[in-house]
Chains A and B, each alone.
Chain A
Amino acid sequence: MGDLKRTPLYDLHVELGAKMVGFAGYDMPVQYPLGVMKEHLHCRGAAGLFDVSHMGQVALRAGSYEAAAKAFETLVPQDVMGLGAGRQRYGFFTNDAGGIEDDLMFANRGDHLFVVVNAACKEADIARMTAALSPDVTVEEITGRALVALQGPAAETALARLNPAVVDMAFMDFTEVELDGVACWVSRSGYTGEDGYEISIPEADAEGICRKLLAMEEVEGIGLGARDSLRLEGGLCLYGNDIDASTSPIEAALTWAIQKVRRADGDRAGGFPGADRIFGDLAEGVARKRVGLAPTGRAPMRAGTQLFAAAEGGEPIGEVTSGGFGPTYEGPVAMGYVGTAQAAVGTEIFGEVRGKRLPVTVAKMPLVPANFKR
């Protein structure tokens, strides 16, 4: 544990009484004294502040946004060139087998491309980008900034006290905003299914801005525990659990994130790793699919739970990849992969928990409707 890294907000977490755990090489708050359940409900009811400084922030520069975007399109199946200035989009790195190497957010910063990647993958991601894109593109990891997320229906009210300009931001807008006199990079986005913002702050100013937000009545600190249950209810993938190097985006139900211009009949079709496999999956269909799962009873079905078509006999048809209790859903929630034959919403299947097959219904994701600002 001695070599865990600390974010610029470490001292604040400890002062707030957080329980700290190692996560992706960082000492992170898993929960505050409020506890996972109440933190989750507070975020959906008011606003929650999350430290996500462990994630990788990377700037890609190639003289112009267009040049950086064109280069980045060789690594991802998204429409990067068509993204407007001051806009952000969800994407993922693919591999030659059409699997997902990491999922990410990227933004058009006018003269360069800004990318946020998962903590556990950031070294590999930066190495991948550097190897594939340099020297034409400069890949710079931005290490001197904290990253926080303010999420929930009261996030707008809270952040507007530091700068009313954030009210006018639309979902997935990305812009520089002065908060408390500090130039911050703010996007209207998050990973909870709620409205909210993700805010990159120079590390020396991060604690001060977070203290101001936490002093507001609407805002509570939220740890990784509730972050997980919030994203699970929101039907959002956790890299390493729900998607990985062996899952294609089509199996993962992420087809929506591959814009038409990059598909087989698009103007800039292919040109990313694994395009053949992904286009094959799109044309011919897939054998398994990521679905939402709503257990009928009260027993949570956690990651690794084997899924079956019938109450007795037969081979597993799939597996739960994330599962637990959904405080807003008020019951167990899960997601996982099932055979295409069982992937229709409403299909009743069974999950084996402690040797017993318990009923679980394939459910429309997200299990808790999203509350984005459109």
Chain B
Amino acid sequence: MKYTEEHEWLRVEGDVVVVGITEHASEQLGDVVFVELPEAGTEVTKDEEVCVIESVKAASDILAPIDGEIVEVNEPLVDEPGKVNDDPMEGAWFFKIKPSDPSQMDDYMDENAYKEFIG
């Protein structure tokens, strides 16, 4: 598992990377009430805004952590945005991305570094 400074987690599953937000991020956001997902098949570049999530407080963007193609999105989240608070690290993944340059993953933190990052 890798972590970004934007509080996303990245889990490699075969040749795709699953992306979600960390428990810490979901706690900071508060109750999530809206999730807008990208469309499967979309080509994205690193740091491009691909998802929007809104909590009771505010809207936040989820950025593509790496270049690649969105190959699957977690459609049920649209109807159950509260899963982002209930199960951020497993059930509430946002999308799966097929990397075009897997070495971009090397830039990100491991779990210990992320824990240090959030203090």
Contact = CB atoms under 8 A, between A and B. Distances in A.
Contacts of B81: 298
Interface of B: 30-31, 33-34, 36, 52, 54, 56-57, 59, 78, 81
A31 B29 CA distance: 12
Contacts of A332: 33-34
B34 A35 contact: no
Given A35-B30, A36-B30, A36-B31, A299 B56 contact: no
A298 B30 contact: no
Contacts, number: 39
B89 to A, nearest CB: 18
B34 A36 contact: no
A354 interface: yes
A302 B81 CA distance: 18
Given A36-B31, A298-B34, A300-B34, A325 B54 contact: yes
A124 to B, nearest CB: 28
Interface in A20-61: 31, 35-38
A299 B52 CA distance: 10
A359 interface: no
A354 B54 contact: no
Nearest to B61: A354
A325 B31 CA distance: 10
Contacts of A31: 30
Interface of A: 31, 35-38, 225, 229, 298-300, 302, 324-325, 327, 332, 354
B57 A36 contact: yes
Contacts of B33: 37, 298, 300, 325, 332
Given A300-B33, A325-B54, 15 more contacts: A35-B30, A36-B30, A36-B31, A37-B30, A37-B31, A37-B56, A225-B57, A229-B56, A298-B34, A298-B78, A298-B81, A299-B36, A325-B31, A325-B56, A327-B31
A6 to B, nearest CB: 23
A327 B56 CA distance: 9
Contacts of A354: 52
A225 B78 contact: no
Contacts of A324: 56
Contact of B34 (A37, A225, A299, A327): A299
A35 B31 contact: yes
Contacts of B52: 354
B90 to A, nearest CB: 21
Nearest to A31: B30
A225 B37 CA distance: 26
B56 A36 contact: yes
Contacts of A36: 30-31, 56-57
Contacts of B30: 31, 35-37, 225
